[in-house]
Structure 1
């Protein structure tokens, strides 16, 4: 029989952006007796509600209101969590979009999106690596998007930030393998969350956040490097990435893309 994956049973899990959407669904999915959850989010009331749900399921929960764009504050928080209980799994999930389905992202929106989606991910991942490397084990998951495979005209900053997260995470997987740290990149299609609720267009293969969280947990336990779902949406995204510009330009012009 094959040996079990070292990622199969994380006991101490840190999740950013846990106050709503996929972050909240992942927290609830992992919540059970014996599990310690370190959760952060910017909305204190919603984060408290998620924490209460997870505690009711038997988990120990330490919830912190935190802006992931503050590098020093995030590093201090990650280190404090690791001292409380050595981290097994860190999910850098926090992310935003501009919601500009019919317009163009302005300079302020663009900088804000990159600050949260990319800088916030870096701010979370680097101290996690520092904590895990000395003990030679751990797992890091970076939340990218199906929108990372081909930029679309409705959300250039969102697509660009998620593309950077995806490629960085894929490279980290190889870079950290010798240190015993597993790295996975998560590329969801459309998931029913507050981020997608503002969309006024048809979202193909839309999944519930709970279903997405169950799938992500299963794939992380198997140490999958890239977790792209649902399958049909992933196939379409990979095809779009391979299209020549003459075709892709017509298909992606003014189309929004959000996780």
Structure 2
């Protein structure tokens, strides 16, 4: 595979983001890596440089509109933008609902930030005549999980946005790919409540994602058995899907 000339990866200190950075790191590749954890960001950047990549890093606050705009406007426009930064949330024991301030922060980074990045970068890509924007959704976007309602909502939102934007940008030569992974081993995954069937490691996930990006696929969803199961929940009657989720261990703890 010919390595892309330039890639921007947000959330590059997380499991999937760092695995993607290492996957793409190669001579003649320019990586722009974003992360908030300076120590981990430097470690990922050093590993990519050792693989021959040219690397620059950023710790800009992605949820600050002014800071995000200034950062993106001063970047050399990448060939591929992977909007990977995100977080998870669930209601704490004894609470009726998820904390609203935490929910607002989650929606800002999981949904609003990737939309803002596309709003600023897609017109430049369209003017240039090529480029690709990759959004990280989740299999939870097929049908919301009772144990993580806000997370499910954010991933369903970015799925719908990415699918719509693909049709909007395709005539201008810009591709859009929505990635819907299942459970990928990471601290965030470990903190999620409920069973984690068909959990895979981050390098495996990165390879699957990279293949989908290379082919400009509209959707990259995996692993297949879990994808099929989650998709089935979306097409079954809603009441039946809710009962099945409870039986499988994803209902609200009593």
Structure 2, unaligned runs of 5 or more: none
Deviation at 1:99, TM superposition (A): 4.3
Conserved 8 A contact 1:20-1:47: no
Partner residue of 1:17? 11
Of 179, 190, 204, which aligns to 2:183?
190
Measure the CA separation in 1 of the matches of 2:50 and 2:10. 20
Matched, 1:37 2:44: no
Conserved 8 A contact 1:99-1:198: no
Compute the TM-score of the two structures, normalised by the length of structure 2: 0.92
Partner residue of 1:94? 85
Distance 1:177 1:53, change over 3 A: same
Q: Which gives a bigger RCO, structure 1 or 2 (Cα 8 Å, sep 6+)?
A: 1
Of 59, 64, 67, which aligns to 2:58?
64
Compute the TM-score of the two structures, normalised by the length of structure 1: 0.90
Of 123, 129, 145, which aligns to 1:130?
123
Matched, 1:255 2:246: no
Conserved 8 A contact 2:82-2:133: yes
TM-superposition CA deviations, 1:141-177 (whole Å, max 9, x none): 0000000110111111100011000000000110001
Deviates more, 1:93-102 or 1:205-214: 93-102
Conserved 8 A contact 1:100-1:154: yes
Of 123, 145, 149, which aligns to 2:142?
149
Provide the secondary structure at the position in 2 that maps to 1:227: strand
Deviates more, 1:189-198 or 1:164-173: 189-198
Deviation at 1:47, TM superposition (A): 0.8
Find runs of 4+ consecutive structure 1 residues off by over 4 angstroms. none
Provide the secondary structure at the position in 2 that maps to 1:141: strand
Structure 1, unaligned runs of 5 or more: none
Matched, 1:54 2:45: no
Measure the CA separation in 1 of the matches of 2:14 and 2:185. 11
